[in-house]
């Protein structure tokens, strides 16, 4: 059973990713959730993680506050996509679950020391600030990491916050540069693949008619979330970015990509946060990431639906 830490900035699509992971108890063990500022500020992303745990009936997974701001930049958030709370679309509350006192960065470091023999996988759904801090604080921690699977970047699809950059990388490009240069095994799920997993009407309907409160609330969140992307792209539904990280972890065989070099632009304001992907191997730069650009869409939705409906409430 794989042991994972989910680093996240919930976000409606982060919420669905968490719920997918919670519903996969037979395949993975979620050691903890570390929160980072991104879609909304840290105070909100931390509370949102607690809300999704309670919605899913999960009380045994600790939640930690991580970084409130990028390494060197002012924080840029995405309320225009996710709403003021980050989870607009439904009214969720926190009744029992509380944040842990330890910082998210220290929790990751503790897990790295504890699980040296059974390496851990970090599933990164937001800006990479926490993970970069971990790698800077203790470079040897990479020996305890099986892999970092992250949602971020874009090459064929361009960007979604600027013409050149995807949001997670744009928010903290310096952190992304540290992570991509760490030597840890990295899998990237960029816009090139997440734009192929657009919310489907029948998927939402199956959540709604399930009779499970968690699934019905997930449908409300997605109804709100996709309105921005449908208007922006003129597509049939909004892309489910972050659940791809968890589905890849569970079913890597439904994805396809290529081991390539990926560099992060940190100097230019025009192309800040651009993921420069050497897809055609036209440089001599060493490959540092498995860059995914294809997915079997129906199997993706089947996995998410099965796991979310596997939740107890």
Q: Is-contact 93 56, C-beta < 8 A?
A: no
Give the SS3 label for residue 242: coil
d(C-alpha 287, C-alpha 260), whole Å? 4
The b-or-e profile of 55-90 (16+ CB within 10 A means b, else e) is bbebeebbbbbbbebbbebebebbeebbbebbbbbb
Residue of 169, 86, 77, 78 whose CA lies nearest to 132? 169
Question: Across-strand partners of 28?
Answer: 2
Which is catalytic among the residues 80, 82, 195, 241? 241
Print the SS3 string covering 143-171: HHEEEEEEECCCCCCCCCCCCCECHHHHH
Residue of 107, 128, 139 whose CA lies nearest to 4? 107
Residue of 285, 279, 302, 271 whose CA lies nearest to 197? 302
Q: How many CB atoms lie within 10 A of CB 109?
A: 18
CA 125 to chain centre: 1
Burial class (CB within 10 angstroms; exposed 0-12, middle 13-18, buried 19+) of 218: buried
d(C-alpha 273, C-alpha 232), whole Å? 21
Neighbouring residues of 227: CB distance < 8 A, sequence distance ≥ 6: 238
Annotation marks residue 241 as catalytic: yes
Q: Enumerate the active-site residues.
A: 241
């Amino acid at each position: 059973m794989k042991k994972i830490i989910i680093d996240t900035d919930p976000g409606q699509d982060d919420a669905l990713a968490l719920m997918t992971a919670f519903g996969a108890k037979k395949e993975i063990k979620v050691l903890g959730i570390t929160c980072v500022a991104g879609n909304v500020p840290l105070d909100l992303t931390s509370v949102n993680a607690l809300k999704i745990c309670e919605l899913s009936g999960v009380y045994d997974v600790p939640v930690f506050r991580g970084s409130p701001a990028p390494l060197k930049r002012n924080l840029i958030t995405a309320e225009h996509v996710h709403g003021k709370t980050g989870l607009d679309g439904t009214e969720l509350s926190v009744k029992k679950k509380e944040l842990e006192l330890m910082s998210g960065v220290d929790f990751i470091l503790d897990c790295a020391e504890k699980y040296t023999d059974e390496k851990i996988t970090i599933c990164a759904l937001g800006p990479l600030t926490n993970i970069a801090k971990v790698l800077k604080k203790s470079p040897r921690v990479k020996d305890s990491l099986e892999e970092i699977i992250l949602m971020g970047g874009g090459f064929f699809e361009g960007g979604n916050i600027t013409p050149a950059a995807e949001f997670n990388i744009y928010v903290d490009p310096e952190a992304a540069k540290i992570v991509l240069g760490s030597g840890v095994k990295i899998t990237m799920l960029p816009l090139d693949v997440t734009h192929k997993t657009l919310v489907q009407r029948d998927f939402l309907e199956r959540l709604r008619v399930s009779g499970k409160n968690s699934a019905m609330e997930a449908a409300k969140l997605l109804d709100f979330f996709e309105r921005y992307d449908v208007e922006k792209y003129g597509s049939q539904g909004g892309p489910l970015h972050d659940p791809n990280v968890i589905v890849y972890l569970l079913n890597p065989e439904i994805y396809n990509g290529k081991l390539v070099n990926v560099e992060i632009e940190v100097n230019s304001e025009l192309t800040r946060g651009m993921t420069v992907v050497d897809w055609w191997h036209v440089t001599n730069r060493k490959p540092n990431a498995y860059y995914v650009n294809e997915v079997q869409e129906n199997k993706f939705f089947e996995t998410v639906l099965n796991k979310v409906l596997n939740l107890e409430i």
